[in-house]
Amino acid sequence: MSSDGKTGTSGKTRANAEISVQKYEPAAYEEPSDGPTLNRIHVEETFSGDIEGAGVVEFLQASFADGTASFVGIERVTGSIGGHSGTFLLQDSGTVADGVVSGDWFVVPGSGTGGLAGLRGEGGFRADLGEGAKVHLDYWFEG
């Protein structure tokens, strides 16, 4: 590990950030009498910390009667990481259980633009419902 504690021998750097939701627009598209409701959720958010910028994401979510849920999504992030600016896509999957949203994500290969061309990475997120999420991304650049 280097002296900054962020880069290991694998060449990955850990970026830690917080997400603040600016817009949250859920819409049910199937509500059967029995079984989970299917929702589309449009979210706009800001990143602060080692990732700075704005994100827009569409989630597809299965919501259960007990308050739990399972979701997937694709997010475009416009901003900067490690002194590089541009855009990239994150592919998300996660759950809601006991009032906690958590999951994993990865940078969609080939999605980086500008100074973020070649960006790759994987990480995750966790938040109490209604709170800002704590997120991390272990990232690197392909040659």
Domain region containing 30:
14-141
Residue 3 resides in a domain:
no
Residue 42 resides in a domain:
yes
Residue 7 resides in a domain:
no
Whether this model's pTM surpasses 0.95: no
Tens of pLDDT, residues 77-108: 999 999 999 999 999 999 999 999 999 999 99
The CATH number of residue 27's host domain is 2.40.350.10
Give the number of domains in the chain: 1
110: left (phi over 0), alpha (psi -120 to 50) or beta: left
- Written as one letter, the residue type at 110 is G
Residue 32 resides in a domain:
yes
Residue 18 resides in a domain:
yes
Q: Are 56 and 67 in contact (CB under 8 A)?
A: no
Among positive and negative, which fits the CA dihedral 48, 19, 12, 119? negative
> With 70 as the cut, is the pLDDT of residue 49 above it?
yes
The residue ranking higher by pLDDT, 128 or 62, is 62
Provide CB contacts within 8 A for 132, sequence distance 6+: 18, 19, 20, 21
Residue 48 resides in a domain:
yes
Residue 1 resides in a domain:
no
Burial class (CB in 10 A: 0-12, 13-18, 19+), 31: exposed
